Structure 1
């Protein structure tokens, strides 16, 4: 079982234990940013705070947090070898990932491009 925290505007709204199939189902629903992290990682803590700060600007997105220490099967399934790792999914497909050394502007710029692409596609 995988433990995920579903976040919404700086608050964890739900912590639940899910199977890998249920996690896949969450990822397939919409635009999803998954943060693979550990609570003891200093860089991870900073990234988590920064993600919480931008969440309200992206109401169409679901933000998920996975502790890779408690959920090694999720790390393996998504080929996550370091923390923090951020993966962006759309319609269940991985669009991009950042690991360990990245800036938040890279992530927000990419999220903005995805939103623009989806707006022009309709």
Structure 2
């Protein structure tokens, strides 16, 4: 399973997005059971997309993430292509639909 890079500030998140052609942010919260249950599924899915760089932020620890990325609930899954948000999924994520969306973008970009 692929691991997420822990991002500890909004600056590190923005740098992460700008430095990678394909970047994926998993925004979570400490007390979120959905977040903890979904993360391993996302990590497993991302094995199919090795060129996508993975990062995670805890919205409770990095409070600026809420305003900066317009977060209203967690988890939030964001895919950025060349710094531009291309996919946004929140709270209840259907893994098969996420896979389809990722596949389309991944195959166009890679």
Sort the TM-score into its range (normalised by shorter chain).
Answer: 0.7 to 0.9
Shift of 1:18: 4.2
What SS does structure 2 have at the residue aligned with 1:11?
Answer: coil
When the two structures are superposed, what TM-score results if normalisation uses the length of structure 1? 0.78
Could you give the per-residue CA deviations for residues 85-111 of structure 1, whole angstroms, max 9, x where no partner exists? 111101000112011122111211111
Structure label with greater radius of gyration: 1
Listed as ranges, the matches of 1:24-43 within 5 Å are: 24-28=14-18, 29-43=20-34
4+ long deviations beyond 4 Å: none
Say whether the 8 Å CA contact 2:23–2:55 is kept in structure 1: yes
What SS does structure 2 have at the residue aligned with 1:96?
Answer: strand
Provide the alpha-carbon RMSD of the alignment. Answer: 1.8
- Number of aligned residue pairs: give it: 109
For structure 1, the residue ranges without an aligned partner over 5 or more in a row are: 1-8
Could you give the per-residue CA deviations for residues 19-54 of structure 1, whole angstroms, max 9, x where no partner exists? 52x422210222111111113211111110101112
**Greater relative contact order: 1 or 2 (C-alpha under 8 angstroms, separation 6 or more)?**
2
When the two structures are superposed, what TM-score results if normalisation uses the length of structure 2? 0.86
For structure 2, the residue ranges without an aligned partner over 5 or more in a row are: none
